[in-house]
Amino acid sequence: MKKNIKNDSKDSKKVAAKGYRVSSKLIHGPELMTKQWDFSHHVVPPQSSSVTYAVSSAQRGALGFIQFASDKDVHKTPILIYDRLEEPNRNMLEERLALAEGGEMAIAFTTGMAAISAILGVLTRTGEHIIAHHTLYGCTYSLLANWFPRDGRGVTFTNLLDIEKVMREIKKETRVIYLETPSNPILEIIDIGELRKAVDKINAKRKKEETIKIVVDNTFATPFCQRPISLGADISLASLTKGIGGFGTDMGGIVVGPKELRHPLMMYRKDFGGVLAPKSAWPTLVYGLPTLDVRMRKQQETAMRVASYLENHPKVARAIYPGLKSHPQYKIARKQLIDCDGNFAPGSMLYFVLKGKPAVAWKSGSTIIDYLAEKSLVITLAVSLGMIKTLIEHPSSMTHAAIPVEEQEKFGIDPGGIRLSIGIEDSCDILNDLDTALKLIK
Ligand SMILES: *Cc1c(COP(=O)(O)O)cnc(C)c1O
């Protein structure tokens, strides 16, 4: 690594990859030669595995600490000191994720939850207030409902589909509006642009440090289908464990946003310690992100077929998929879920409810889930999502069990609702197994 300290002749070969499409840059990186690491012969970046880094002099070591603590240029070659500060594999991944999401900078964390708690930790303090959509990933709900109030941060859960109502919930202490779109698990689509307009009116009357930030969890859509910052969000975040990682081998989380948040997020990550391990950054850098485009195209095509099949099935009461015209926010979906070529990109996630009263629907649901768990090669009963393998689960008793059942029903999570995350298997196999399972119920 000592060689890394001086810029050598390879510097001259650093060619900015201008004119290339994002999907190509996610495979090769934004530049021909990365500034993050000095290697020129590896076609695949070496997997970095060093907790600490040798520096050539005490002065250089001191400079490393000064640079880290200053709000420096994101793209400068860092002086590497210690894994918890900066690290080449992770830095390269962050650079590409900023690019994928169309943000100024990205900071990676151990898990999606570590990313969420870090950005909310940076944006709010005791006495301040967060407004969140009432359907959220179960652990995010639990973080906001159980932990934040303990240190005096107020949280109001409300329906972000009703922007006027949201505006009425805003207090002078409100600093964050937090949402998922599409939401987990029922795939509601919240209009980020309309929310931006409404929040801007309030922010115009506030001091800069008291403005409200819009934070969007983009895990379901992935940057292939949606770039929230381009739609008006201040911050886009995601669990790398899901669609971006894609292969289900590693956990991770990312926060993407304006460069003034880089410094506080890096300081927060250094001190709270939830830094993404290089060994987990590497598979996402080498396998996950480069294949996001091809995986999502295939998954989405199958998801559309499965959604149409479920929508027309006599035993299904409701099939929810942003690609179906029957989706309650279809118009907003058409506007927001767009791939880099400008095509409608409704994603790989589906939600459906079987016919009958809630208890009956749940019983029918368990019948098909149990059958698939036992007999299907291509549909696996498991939480997580966005993987190359198709996963089925029951949100009410699994991913969203942290939300009390009465609350779940109020917010539209049916006791018998079933979530499907479509993988890259042959779509006929997925449809055949679903069809066989649905034959088992009355
Ligand atoms: C899974 C998930 C998270 C949390 O991510 P982890 O990597 O499991 O910590 C956050 N938001 C959504 C929408 C998720 O599906």
86: in domain: no
pLDDT single digits (tens) 3-43: 444 443 344 344 455 788 889 889 888 877 777 776 667 88
Mean pLDDT score of the chain:
91
3-state helix, strand, coil in the chain (%, to 5): 45, 15, 40
Atom number of ligand 1 nearest to Cα 252: 7
Output the domain CATH number for residue 376. Answer: 3.90.1150.10
Distance (angstroms) between ligand 1 centre and the Cα of 329 equals 23
Q: What is the mean pLDDT of residues 99-111?
A: 97
Distance (angstroms) between ligand 1 centre and the Cα of 219 equals 7
Distance (angstroms) between ligand 1 centre and the Cα of 79 equals 32
Atom number of ligand 1 nearest to Cα 115: 9
Distance (angstroms) between ligand 1 centre and the Cα of 124 equals 21
Atom number of ligand 1 nearest to Cα 180: 13
Residue 330 has pLDDT above 80, yes or no: yes
338: in domain: yes
Residue 419's beta-bridge partner residues?
351, 393
Length of the chain: 442
pLDDT single digits (tens) 384-435: 999 999 999 988 878 777 777 777 777 778 888 899 999 999 999 999 999 9
H-run or E-run covering 203: helix 192-203
Distance (angstroms) between ligand 1 centre and the Cα of 112 equals 5
Q: Are 302 and 430 in contact (CB under 8 A)?
A: yes
Question: Which residue lies with its CA nearest to atom 5 of ligand 1?
Answer: 112
Distance (angstroms) between ligand 1 centre and the Cα of 137 equals 7
287: in domain: no
Cβ < 6 A, ligand 1 pocket? 111-113, 137, 139-140, 180, 184, 217, 219-220, 239, 241-242, 251, 253
The predicted model scores a pTM of 0.93
186: in domain: no
Atom number of ligand 1 nearest to Cα 242: 1
Q: Are 144 and 166 in contact (CB under 8 A)?
A: no
The tokens for 18 are 């201008």
pLDDT single digits (tens) 335-388: 999 999 999 999 999 999 999 988 888 889 989 999 999 999 999 999 999 999
42: in domain: no
- Number of domains within the chain: 1
Distance (angstroms) between ligand 1 centre and the Cα of 20 equals 31
Domain range for 346 is: 292-438
Distance (angstroms) between ligand 1 centre and the Cα of 88 equals 25
Q: What is the mean pLDDT of residues 71-80?
A: 70
Confidence (pLDDT) at 9: 38
Atom number of ligand 1 nearest to Cα 253: 7
From residue 250, how far is each of 18, 36, 51, 101 by CA, in Å? 31, 22, 19, 20
The tokens for 130 are 């967060």
244: in domain: no
pLDDT single digits (tens) 226-271: 999 999 999 999 999 999 999 999 999 999 999 999 999 999 999 9
Atom number of ligand 1 nearest to Cα 384: 1
389: in domain: yes
408: in domain: yes
Instruction: Name the residue of 242, 403, 413 to mutate for ligand 1: max ligand atoms within 8 A of Cβ.
Output: 242
Atom number of ligand 1 nearest to Cα 113: 9
